[in-house]
């Protein structure tokens, strides 16, 4: 079945996007910004650039029937609110500029919505194995860059909805807003449909003309960008010279060699776990730090345990790449307006409270540097990626087993929906998300908060861990260690609405 709608006008995401009139040039298009394009160029056969969004729904006690057809009907009625799911890539002739998004394209729901079955007994481990298979194949660039899988066979009257969305379409903030539109939330938008389309590819001559005009504009902006970059880096350097030297913090571009870092394979492994959001907040308040600091310190504790197991030691700090949004608008549902922080993780420190303190210090310094250099500088620099050679260069790098000195691991903490969502009347009881894997760094830890819980997701390849749930188990254990050290009384809270945690032998 193909669904379409009439285009609704609106401003572009940022100044780098070029809008085209439908007359004489087909449907409306807009240029991918530099970060969007980067996430396309870095995609290789072993480095997929899609993200995952996983919602577990519980149909116990709901009125009416919940099945694939009900979900399909629900999704079809929300599709007009999910503009990026109607985008299709348009390449520029001779790769003379970043690609463009062609808007308001037809969507073949028979292709994009799929059914999968979770094998018995239908628990967390079996679901995570299905998600791993979904994550292991790239998206077809000839179609809108997303797929949704309806997973049946879960125990306890549950189903899972597995969304695979190309990162070029949406970053973490945009994904949260998209998900809120896709779900029924009290006070949310009312579904409506419009069955017209304007999806007609522009003529090559118009694409080339737009590319030329855009390049002229970029050349004019280049001197200002160079000035801002030089000024920003000089500020960071001066500030670094003023700071106290702390040996327990890693220096930038000094990520050590670890078992975490190697050439990435195409196969993916996904593991999940759930923590109580109120407990994480309670620990953060008791220690006088942010929730993000607790998440990073927990990751440090988990990675310390894993390093000792696989490398036999954890004797120096490692570096986490932590994405940060530069535009947190609740109305933004597409594009990547992000930058990144390089944060030292003190995996070599035994005391969990000292790890928290060091993480808070490292995060504070990274945020200060980020402001000094300019939060949007990274995205602006990405605009000037050479489109003709970038994809081939990244493919060549992905085939080499070189050391990544910039990072050891990616860790992300995204505030998700605070209100409970529903799909076709069934409440969403768990929510997970993952980012992408990077060159030489095949471990991504993403934490999404949702209502009263924090969904912990680890994405990796099939060469890093014997069992990916070693990582999720180490993460929850590391949090309980911090919780105990912070003096929180009583047993840890178990999230009753979530699937039982996976037990790992050994």
Q: Per residue in 342-358, pLDDT tens? A: 999 999 999 999 999 99
pLDDT at 209 over 60: yes
Q: What distance in Å separates the CA atoms of residue 485 and residue 498, rounded to the nearest whole number?
A: 26
Q: What percent of the chain has pLDDT above 70? A: 92
- Single out the residue of 194, 196, 195, 209 nearest to residue 24, CA to CA: 209
CB atoms within 10 A of CB 371: 12
Supply the mean pLDDT for the chain. 91
Q: What distance in Å separates the CA atoms of residue 286 and residue 121, rounded to the nearest whole number?
A: 40
User: pLDDT (tens digit, 9 = 90+) per residue, 45-97?
Assistant: 999 999 999 999 999 989 889 999 999 999 999 999 999 999 999 999 999 99
185 within a domain of the structure (yes/no): yes
Least confident of 178-192, 242-256, 289-303, 487-501: 178-192
Phi–psi pair at 274, nearest 5 degrees: -135, 135
195 within a domain of the structure (yes/no): no
Q: What is the DSSP letter of 60?
A: T
- Determine the pLDDT at residue 64: 85
User: pLDDT (tens digit, 9 = 90+) per residue, 161-202?
Assistant: 999 999 999 999 999 999 989 998 754 545 556 545 667 888
Question: 15 CB contacts (<8 Å, ≥6 apart)?
Answer: none
176 within a domain of the structure (yes/no): yes
pLDDT at 8 over 80: no
- Give me the numbers of helices (H) and strands (E) for the chain, helices first please: 12, 17
- Determine the pLDDT at residue 401: 75
Q: What distance in Å separates the CA atoms of residue 432 and residue 497, rounded to the nearest whole number?
A: 14
174 within a domain of the structure (yes/no): yes
Q: What distance in Å separates the CA atoms of residue 447 and residue 459, rounded to the nearest whole number?
A: 11
Q: Out of 80, 167, 370, 469, pick the active-site residue.
A: 167
2 within a domain of the structure (yes/no): no
Q: What percent of the chain has pLDDT above 90? A: 83
Helix, strand, or coil (residue 451): coil
87 close to 333: Cβ distance less than 8 angstroms:
no
Q: Name the residue range of residue 320's domain.
A: 10-190+202-506
5 within a domain of the structure (yes/no): no
Q: What is the DSSP letter of 16?
A: T
DSSP string for residues in 462-501? TTS-SSTHHHHHHHHHHHHHHHHHTT--SPPPP-TTSPPP
Q: What is the mean pLDDT of residues 236-261?
A: 95
413 within a domain of the structure (yes/no): yes
CATH number, position 416: 3.30.559.30
Question: 411 CB contacts (<8 Å, ≥6 apart)?
Answer: 295, 296, 299, 320, 321, 322, 343, 345, 444, 445, 446, 447
pLDDT at 10 over 70: no
The number of distinct structural domains making up the chain is 1
Q: What distance in Å separates the CA atoms of residue 476 and residue 273, rounded to the nearest whole number?
A: 8
110 within a domain of the structure (yes/no): yes
Sign of the CA dihedral with 120 first, then 124, 127, and 128 last: negative
Strand pairing report for 409-415 and 318-325 = parallel
- Determine the pLDDT at residue 11: 33
Encoded tokens for 223: 């001197």
Q: What distance in Å separates the CA atoms of residue 110 and residue 283, rounded to the nearest whole number?
A: 46
Residue 97 falls in the annotated catalytic set: no
Q: What distance in Å separates the CA atoms of residue 35 and residue 167, rounded to the nearest whole number?
A: 10
């Amino acid at each position: 079945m193909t669904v379409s709608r009439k285009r609704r006008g609106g401003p572009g995401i940022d100044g780098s996007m070029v809008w085209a009139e439908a007359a004489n040039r087909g449907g409306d298009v807009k240029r991918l910004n530099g970060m969007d394009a980067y996430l396309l160029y870095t995609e290789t056969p072993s480095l997929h650039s899609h993200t995952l969004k996983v919602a577990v729904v519980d149909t116990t006690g709901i009125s009416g029937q919940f099945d694939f057809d009900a979900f399909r009907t629900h999704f079809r009625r929300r599709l007009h609110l999910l503009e990026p799911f109607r985008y299709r890539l348009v390449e520029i002739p001779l790769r003379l500029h970043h690609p463009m998004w062609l808007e308001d394209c037809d969507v073949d729901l028979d292709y994009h919505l799929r059914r999968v079955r979770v094998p018995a007994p239908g628990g967390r481990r079996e679901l995570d194995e299905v998600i791993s298979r979904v994550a292991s194949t790239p998206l077809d660039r000839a179609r809108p860059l997303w797929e949704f899988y309806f997973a049946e066979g879960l125990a306890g009257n549950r189903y899972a909805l597995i969304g695979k969305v190309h990162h070029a379409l949406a970053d973490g903030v945009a994904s949260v807003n998209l998900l809120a539109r896709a779900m029924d939330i009290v006070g949310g938008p009312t579904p409506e449909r419009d069955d017209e389309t304007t999806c007609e590819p522009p003529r090559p001559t118009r694409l080339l003309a737009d590319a030329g005009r855009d390049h002229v504009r970029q050349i004019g902006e280049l001197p200002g960008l160079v000035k801002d970059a030089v000024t920003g880096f000089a500020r960071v350097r001066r500030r670094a010279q003023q700071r106290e030297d702390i040996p327990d913090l890693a220096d930038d571009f000094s990520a050590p060699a670890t078992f975490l870092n190697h050439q990435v394979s195409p196969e993916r492994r996904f593991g999940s776990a759930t923590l109580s959001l109120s407990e994480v907040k309670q620990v953060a308040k008791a220690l006088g730090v942010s929730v993000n600091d607790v998440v990073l310190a927990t990751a440090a504790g988990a990675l310390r345990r894993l390093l000792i197991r696989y490398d036999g030691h954890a004797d120096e700090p490692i570096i986490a790449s932590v994405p940060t949004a530069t535009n947190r608008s609740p109305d933004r549902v597409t594009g990547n307006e992000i930058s990144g922080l390089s944060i030292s993780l003190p995996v070599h420190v035994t005391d969990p409270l000292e790890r928290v303190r060091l993480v808070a210090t490292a995060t504070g310094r990274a945020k200060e540097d980020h402001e000094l250099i300019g939060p949007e500088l990274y995205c602006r620099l990405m605009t000037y990626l050479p489109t003709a050679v970038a994809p081939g260069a990244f493919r060549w790098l992905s085939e080499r087993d070189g050391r990544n000195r910039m990072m050891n691991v990616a860790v992300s903490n995204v505030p998700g929906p605070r209100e409970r969502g529903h799909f076709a009347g069934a409440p969403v009881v768990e929510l997970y998300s993952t980012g992408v894997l990077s060159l030489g760094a095949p471990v991504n830890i993403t934490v999404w908060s949702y209502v009263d819980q924090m969904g912990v997701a680890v994405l990796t390849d099939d060469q890093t861990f014997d069992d990916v749930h070693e990582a999720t188990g180490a993460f929850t254990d590391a949090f309980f260690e911090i919780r105990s050290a912070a003096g929180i009384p009583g047993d840890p809270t178990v999230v009753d609405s979530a699937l039982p945690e996976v037990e790992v032998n050994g």
